[in-house]
Amino acid sequence: MLDSQTYYSNFWCGITPQGYYRRTAEYFPTKNRQRQGCFQVPMVHSTFLVSLKTEDTAQLAFYPPHPNYTWPFDDIIVFAYACQAAGVSMHVCNDHRYGYMNVAVKPHQGLEEEKTNFIHLILEALVDGPPMLASAHVSRPPKKPNKMGFDEVFVISLARRPQRRARMLTSLWEMEISAQVVDAVDGRTLNSSILKHLGVDLLPGYQDPYSGRTLTKGEVGCFLSHYSIWEEVVVRGLARVVVFEDDVRFEDNFRRRLERLMEDVVTQKLSYLGRKQVNPEEEVAVEGLPGLVVAGYSYWTLAYTLSLAGARKLLASRPLQRMLPVDEFLPIMFDQHPNDQYKAYFWPRDLQAFSARPLLASPTHYAGDAEWLSDTETSSPWDDDSGRLISWTGSQKTLRGPHLHLAGSSGYSLHPHPRDEL
Instruction: Answer whether 86's CB lies under 8 Å from 213's CB.
Output: no
Residue that terminates a domain, selected from 363, 384, 407: 363
What pLDDT shows up at residue 309?
A: 96
Residues 6+ apart with CB under 8 A from 92: 1, 10, 11, 30, 38, 39, 41, 44
- pTM score above 0.85: no
Q: Is 61 contained in some domain?
A: yes
Together in a domain, 344 and 246? yes
The reply to whether 74 and 217 lie within a common domain is no
The CA–CA distances, whole Å, from 346 to 203, 208, 343 equal 11, 19, 6
Alpha-carbon distance of 234 to 310, in angstroms, equals 10
Same domain, 164 and 39: no
Together in a domain, 210 and 346: yes
Q: Is residue 394 part of a domain?
A: no
pLDDT, residue 98, reads 86
Q: In terms of C-beta density within 10 A (0-12 exposed, 13-18 middle, 19 or more buried), how is residue 209 classed?
A: buried
Does residue 208 lie in a domain region? yes
Asked whether residue 75 falls in the same domain as residue 161, the answer is: no
- Residue 17 structural domain: 11-93
Q: Is residue 24 part of a domain?
A: yes
185 and 320 share one domain: yes
Structural domain includes residue 420:
no
Note whether 85 and 175 are same-domain residues: no
- Same domain for 322 and 222, yes or no, is yes
Determine the pLDDT at residue 397.
Answer: 80
Q: How many domains does the chain have?
A: 2
Query: What pLDDT does 409 receive?
Result: 36
Instruction: Answer with the one of 42, 65, 93 that is the final residue of a domain.
Output: 93
Whether 260 and 332 share a structural domain: yes
Query: What integer pLDDT is reported at residue 101 of this predicted model?
Result: 82
DSSP letters of 276-344?
A: EES-GGG--EETTEEEEEE--SEEEEEEEEEEHHHHHHHHHT-GGGGB--HHHHHHHHTT--S-HHHHT
**Same domain as 157, residue 32:** no
- State whether 175 and 317 are in the same domain: yes
Report the pLDDT value the prediction gives residue 390, as an integer from 0 to 100: 63
Coil/strand/helix, residue 360: coil
Task: Give the pLDDT score at 211.
Answer: 78
Per-residue confidence in pLDDT tens, the chain, 422 aa: 998 877 889 999 999 998 899 999 999 999 988 899 999 999 999 988 988 888 888 889 999 999 999 988 999 999 999 999 998 999 999 998 888 887 665 555 556 666 777 788 888 888 877 788 777 887 888 999 999 999 999 999 999 999 999 999 999 999 999 999 999 999 999 999 999 999 999 999 999 887 788 899 999 999 999 999 999 999 999 999 999 999 999 998 999 999 999 887 766 799 999 999 998 888 999 988 889 999 999 999 999 999 999 999 999 999 999 999 999 999 999 999 999 999 999 999 999 999 999 999 999 988 777 777 778 776 787 777 776 666 655 467 888 765 444 433 334 433 333 222 22
Which whole-number Å values give the CA distances from 152 to 31, 165, 249, 350, in the listed order?
39, 18, 20, 24
Query: Do the domain assignments include residue 252?
Result: yes
Q: What is the pLDDT of residue 175?
A: 95
Q: How far is residue 239's CA from residue 330's CA, in Å, rounded to a whole number?
A: 19
Integer Cα distance of 173 and 162 in angstroms: 16
61 and 158 housed in the same domain: no
Q: Is residue 379 part of a domain?
A: no
Whether residue 380 is contained in a domain is answered as no
Number of CB atoms found within 10 A of residue 26's CB: 13
Task: Give the domain CATH number at 198.
Answer: 3.90.550
